[in-house]
Structures are given as structure tokens and as C-alpha cells.
């Protein structure tokens, strides 16, 4: 039996080597804290010339730009630089959605003069009782705006969606069965009752989540990529982030939303995206990462759960090509993800983990936030109080926020309860 396993393993490694693939799939993910490699994190407050960064001005004017550029070069790639004239069209407006609590709109944003060209639909909830512009949460969703509530009046996305037999999707078209399928992840009632708006967009409107060589979604706005994209050309996470910024452009002139008080939120791959959107666009007033894991809040050097090699292999279109240089070589990365969190500073940032989401490395997510602390302190802000993680279901909120919730990889009403509380502290008008 043992001999048979050994032969299978050797055969697998041999096949990987012969096919030019790194044998990452043959490796088990590490979930043992004792096996986390020793590592040294790049110092946030020493610039590339070796000079110390001692003032907020030095951070904002010099070091921040260096760190941002390192993430562009080595992790996510540059954002698209498409010059667009945004046009909007109101698709629907309901004054009494969510049992009368919310004013709800569906707003189509066109990126060109062509109604059949690339576009995204914003689903916008504001409190029905609001008398002026409100602070809001803005986040991408996984299944289409019709998945937020089961209201049959919501437009079903016409964009590509993943095959999902459980929802009756066989051919990449969303069906009636998808209505409300993501509702447990969006506490619309809690959000509007608390005086906030919620704006969500289907991420597939911006860039369908499969590797098509960057042709569909907003990529049709640029020149088609011939051959391999440039090493630092953005992947899908950069494309999704670009879309979030265009949504914020539209919100600048929305009478119901206060665009200077918008928190960018995301879960999982979309939590990696909210961190990158918050880093690249400082107009976002707050940044929230829910269970974002590898490539998001988690420290890459810990290689705990999902690793750089694994994520680049499973999702070749998410990051830039240069990121692959760090497959099984995290120590060579000129950044780590505490620096991504620090790019949110001095704005409030929230990182959330879940106990059963070991794949996302909760401890690595917490440590990133902890190690971003020196930049917050530079601004006179308060980071996490201890290197020790707080207990399960014991949120800690200062100028940054963290909780590790019981349960699995997901967004729950408990998570939203904490985000609303954090926003009450930082986004409510004085
Ligand atoms: C997983 C992936 C994670 C996370 C997750 C998600 O398959 O390994 O990095 O992004 O997907 O987005 O749901």
C-alpha cells in the first residue's frame, strides 16, 4: 500500500515536471502553525533608499507611492487606464423596497456611447426615511444584483455567470432561480435601518471571472492583448477595482449618497479587491475586507492554507504575471500584505476572519493588520492593541477593526453588525 502511494506521488511529480507545471497541486496545504516558515517582513517605515519615514507627509508623498507601485509591479498589476465618458440610465426606481424601509434604484452605467457596449448595473439602496445624502457601503457581488433579494422586479443580470447546477444554471446565464440566492450575505435591512446606503454591482459585469485572455467585460475598451500580457499588466482584481472606482465616480453626483463617506467592502476574492480598490483610490473613506485570505489581508510569507503558488495556478487571471515569480518563493516578494493594509491608512480599515476558514489563514489576516499599525501610529491613529489575536466573536475596534467569527467562509449578519458599528464610529457625520 505504502509502496503504491509512493509510486503515485512520484508519477504525479514526474507528470508535472514533464508537462512544465510546477508540482504545487501535489503539495498539501499547511495548516500547522509549527510548520510556518521563519520570515522577515519588509519594513513599512524604511523607504527603498534605506531612509526612515518619520512623518505623515513622508509617508503620503514618498513611501506610499513606492509601496503602491510595488503592489502594481509584483502583485495585482496596474489598473486599466481606459478613458471613459460615463453615462447612466435609470432602469428602475422603487420608493418602498425592503418592506418599505428602502428607496431602491437600478442604475445602468455605460462605459461608451454604445448602449450595447460594456456596462455595469448599480443596485442602490438608501433609507426610505433619509432626508439628505447618506454614507454608504459599496461592494461587488458574486451572482448578479437579482441575487440580493428575491423581489421579482429586480433585473436579472445578462452577464456571464458561473455554471451552478444547484441554482439551475447550466449555460452561464442567470435564471429566475438565482433571485435572492445571495441575500444572506447582504444585510440590507440592517444597513438601511442604521442610516446607510448600500450599493452593489455584479462583478461579472466588469470582468467575467474566467481566463479569456482579457477580452470580455471592460477589457473590450482597450486594445486586444496579443500574446502574453505585460508582466505588470493588471489581472481581474485590478479590473474589478477599476469598476469600483467608476461606481464611485457616478456616486459623486448622486443626491442620495454622500460620496465622501463611502466604505468599500468585499468578501473573499472580492475582499482582495476591496483592499486593492481602497489602496488605489483614496476617495474611499473606509475599507472592509471580509475573509479575503491569500492575496488579500493574509501575509503571503506565512504560506498557511492557500499559497501564492496555489492561487496563481488556480486563478491565473486574478494577479499580474510577475506575481508568479513568487510561487514557492514568498520571501523574495518586495512587499507583504501588511503593506496593502497600510495603504488604507489613515482611513479606517476593517479585517474580518472566520474560524473555520483556515484556507484564508485567519492568523495571517490578523497579523497583517497588526503589522500595519506603525503607519496608523504615524498619523496619531490607534492600530490593534496586541499581537495576540482577540478571542472568537470578540470584535476589537479602534481606528482599525478586526473580528474572528465562529463559523465558515461567508458573510453573515454578525459581520454586518460589526461593520455598521465601525461605520457608526468613523463615517457618521460629527
Ligand atoms: C477560493 C480561493 C480563495 C477565495 C475564494 C473566493 O477558491 O482559493 O482565494 O478567493 O475562492 O473568492 O470565494
What CATH number corresponds to the domain at position 46?
A: 3.40.50.1820
pLDDT band at 429 (very low <50, low <70, confident <90, very high): low
Write the residue with the smallest CA distance to atom 13 of ligand 1.
Answer: 268
Gyration radius of the chain over CA positions: 21
Q: Is 353 a catalytic residue?
A: no
Q: Is the CB of 411 under 6 A from ligand 1?
A: no
Q: Is 409 a catalytic residue?
A: yes
Asked if 142 contacts 182 with a C-beta cutoff of 8 angstroms, the reply is yes
Q: Once rounded to an integer, what is the mean pLDDT over residues 266-285?
A: 99
Report yes or no on 215 lying in a domain.
yes
Report yes or no on 5 lying in a domain.
no
Q: What is the pLDDT of residue 18?
A: 34
Q: Once rounded to an integer, what is the mean pLDDT over residues 168-192?
A: 95
23 has a pLDDT exceeding 70: no
Q: How far is the CA of 248 from the centre of ligand 1 (A)?
A: 25
Under 8 Å CB-to-CB from 253, ≥6 apart: which residues?
none
Sheet with 134-141, strands from edge to edge, namely 87-96, 102-110, 119-127, 197-202, 134-141, 257-267, 286-290, 349-354, 400-405, 396-397
Q: Once rounded to an integer, what is the mean pLDDT over residues 333-340?
A: 99
Going from the C-alpha of 364 to that of each of 140, 159, 297, 307, 400, the distances in angstroms are 24, 35, 7, 12, 16
> How many Cβ atoms sit within 10 Å of the Cβ of residue 52?
10
Q: Is the CB of 400 under 6 A from ligand 1?
A: no
Report yes or no on 28 lying in a domain.
no
- State the burial class of residue 181 (Cβ atoms within 10 Å of its Cβ: 0-12, 13-18, 19+): buried
Report yes or no on 107 lying in a domain.
yes
Report yes or no on 2 lying in a domain.
no
**What is d(CA 276, CA 76) in angstroms, rounded to the nearest whole number?**
8
Q: Once rounded to an integer, what is the mean pLDDT over residues 139-166?
A: 96
pLDDT band at 17 (very low <50, low <70, confident <90, very high): very low
Report yes or no on 12 lying in a domain.
no
Q: Is the CB of 405 under 6 A from ligand 1?
A: no
Q: How far is the CA of 315 from the centre of ligand 1 (A)?
A: 9
Q: What is the pLDDT of residue 224?
A: 84
Going from the C-alpha of 256 to that of each of 105, 114, 149, 212, the distances in angstroms are 11, 27, 21, 37
Q: Is the CB of 306 under 6 A from ligand 1?
A: yes
- For 81-111, the pLDDT digits (tens) are 999 999 999 999 999 999 999 999 999 999 9
**What is d(CA 266, CA 243) in angstroms, rounded to the nearest whole number?**
13
Report yes or no on 220 lying in a domain.
yes
> How many Cβ atoms sit within 10 Å of the Cβ of residue 253?
10
Q: What is the pLDDT of residue 27?
A: 67
- For 41-58, the pLDDT digits (tens) are 999 999 999 999 999 999
| Structural domain containing residue 223 | 39-426
| For the chain, percent of residues with pLDDT exceeding 90 | 90
Number of structural domains the chain divides into: 1
Ligand 1: which of 306, 308, 360 to mutate, most ligand atoms within 8 Å of CB? 306
Report yes or no on 309 lying in a domain.
yes
Amino acid at each position: 500500500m505504502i509502496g503504491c502511494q509512493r509510486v503515485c506521488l512520484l508519477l504525479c511529480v514526474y507528470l508535472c515536471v514533464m508537462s512544465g507545471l510546477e508540482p504545487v497541486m501535489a503539495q498539501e496545504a499547511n495548516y500547522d502553525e509549527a510548520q510556518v516558515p521563519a520570515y522577515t517582513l519588509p519594513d513599512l517605515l524604511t523607504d527603498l533608499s534605506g531612509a526612515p519615514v518619520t512623518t505623515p507627509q513622508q509617508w503620503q508623498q514618498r513611501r506610499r507611492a513606492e509601496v503602491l507601485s510595488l503592489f502594481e509591479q509584483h502583485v495585482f498589476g496596474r489598473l486599466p487606464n481606459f478613458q471613459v465618458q460615463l453615462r447612466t440610465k435609470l432602469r428602475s426606481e422603487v420608493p418602498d423596497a425592503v418592506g418599505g424601509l428602502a428607496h431602491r434604484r437600478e442604475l445602468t452605467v455605460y462605459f461608451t456611447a454604445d448602449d450595447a457596449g460594456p456596462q455595469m448595473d448599480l443596485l442602490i439602496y438608501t433609507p426610505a426615511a433619509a432626508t439628505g445624502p447618506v454614507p454608504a457601503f459599496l461592494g461587488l457581488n458574486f451572482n448578479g444584483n437579482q441575487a440580493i433579494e428575491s423581489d421579482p422586479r429586480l433585473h436579472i443580470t445578462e452577464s456571464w455567470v458561473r455554471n451552478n447546477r444547484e441554482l439551475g444554471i447550466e449555460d452561464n446565464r442567470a435564471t429566475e432561480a438565482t433571485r435572492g440566492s445571495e441575500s444572506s450575505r447582504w444585510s440590507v435591512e440592517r444597513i438601511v435601518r442604521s442610516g446607510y446606503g448600500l450599493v452593489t454591482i455584479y462583478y461579472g459585469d466588469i470582468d467575467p471571472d474566467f481566463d479569456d485572455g482579457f477580452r470580455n467585460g471592460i477589457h473590450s475598451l482597450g486594445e486586444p492583448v496579443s500574446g502574453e500580457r505585460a508582466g505588470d499588466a493588471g489581472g481581474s482584481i485590478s479590473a474589478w477595482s477599476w469598476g469600483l472606482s467608476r461606481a464611485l465616480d457616478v456616486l459623486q453626483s448622486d443626491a442620495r449618497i454622500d460620496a465622501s463617506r463611502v466604505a468599500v467592502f468585499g468578501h473573499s476574492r472580492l475582499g482582495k479587491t476591496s483592499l486593492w480598490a481602497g489602496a488605489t483610490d483614496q476617495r474611499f473613506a473606509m475599507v472592509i475586507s471580509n475573509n479575503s485570505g491569500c492575496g488579500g489581508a493574509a501575509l503571503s510569507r506565512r504560506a498557511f492554507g492557500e499559497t501564492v503558488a496555489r492561487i496563481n495556478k488556480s486563478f491565473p487571471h486574478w494577479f499580474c504575471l510577475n506575481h508568479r515569480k513568487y510561487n514557492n518563493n514568498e520571501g523574495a516578494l518586495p512587499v507583504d500584505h501588511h503593506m496593502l493594509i497600510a495603504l488604507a491608512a489613515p482611513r479606517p480599515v476593517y479585517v474580518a476572519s472566520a474560524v473555520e476558514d483556515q484556507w484564508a489563514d485567519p492568523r495571517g489576516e490578523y497579523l497583517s493588520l497588526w503589522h500595519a499599525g506603525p503607519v496608523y501610529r504615524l498619523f496619531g491613529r490607534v492600530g490593534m492593541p496586541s499581537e495576540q489575536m482577540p478571542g472568537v466573536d470578540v470584535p476589537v475596534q479602534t481606528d482599525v477593526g478586526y473580528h474572528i467569527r465562529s463559523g465558515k467562509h461567508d458573510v453573515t449578519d454578525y459581520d454586518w453588525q460589526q461593520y455598521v458599528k465601525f461605520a457608526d464610529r468613523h463615517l457618521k457625520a460629527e
